[in-house]
Amino acid sequence: QSVLTQPPSVSGAPGQRVTISCTGSSSNIGAGYDVHWYQQLPGIAPKLLIYGNNNRPSGVPDRFSGSKSGTSASLAITGLQAEDEADYYCQSHDSSLSGVIFGGGTKLTVL
């Protein structure tokens, strides 16, 4: 059971928009800690997708965006493409656990 809760799976057709939620609590996201998002393609190491809640590293398409409100965060992907099919993870910090926490991951399927 992860401290950050993500839906196990989401899906969408090419060109559509999907969102992935990441729900935490008052000891992590709600305490003001930043949320970061990673994309993990099959058999490959994770790659930073969004940092500091809503910032894209160089090279990440603007189809990817992040937001944060209260004790939750979201990753939005617009104009879905086949190559977006991957696992997505959110990450933050937890003051009660005194450490880094990850969401359980969400598998995105492009129909």
Partner 1 sequence: EVQLVESGGDLVQPGRSLRLSCTASGFTFGDYALSWVRQAPGKGLEWVGFIRRKTYDGTTEYAASVKGRFTISRDDSKSIAYLQMNSLKTEDTAVYYCTRGDTGAFDPWGQGTLVTVSS
Q: Angle at the Cα of 40 (from 37 to 46), degrees rounded to 5?
A: 70
Query: Per rule CB under 8 A, is residue 89 in the interface with partner 1?
Result: yes
Stretch that binds partner 1, among 16-24, 48-56, 62-70, 71-79 (CB under 8 A): 48-56
Stretch that binds partner 1, among 10-18, 23-31, 68-76, 84-92 (CB under 8 A): 84-92
Options 51, 64, 76, 85; binder of partner 1; rule CB under 8 A: 51
Query: Per rule CB under 8 A, is residue 67 in the interface with partner 1?
Result: no
Parallel, antiparallel or unpaired: strands 64-69 and 99-102:
unpaired
Q: Which token pair is 37?
A: 């998002």
Please state, in angstroms and rounded to a whole number, the distance separating the CA atoms of residues 93 and 109: 28
Q: Which token pair is 81?
A: 């493409």
Site string for partner 1, 3-42 (x = CB under 8 A): -------------------------------x-x-x-x--
Q: Which token pair is 66?
A: 């992040």
Please state, in angstroms and rounded to a whole number, the distance separating the CA atoms of residues 101 and 26: 14
Footprint of partner 1 (CB under 8 A):
2, 34, 36, 38, 40, 45-48, 51-52, 57, 87, 89, 91, 93, 97-105
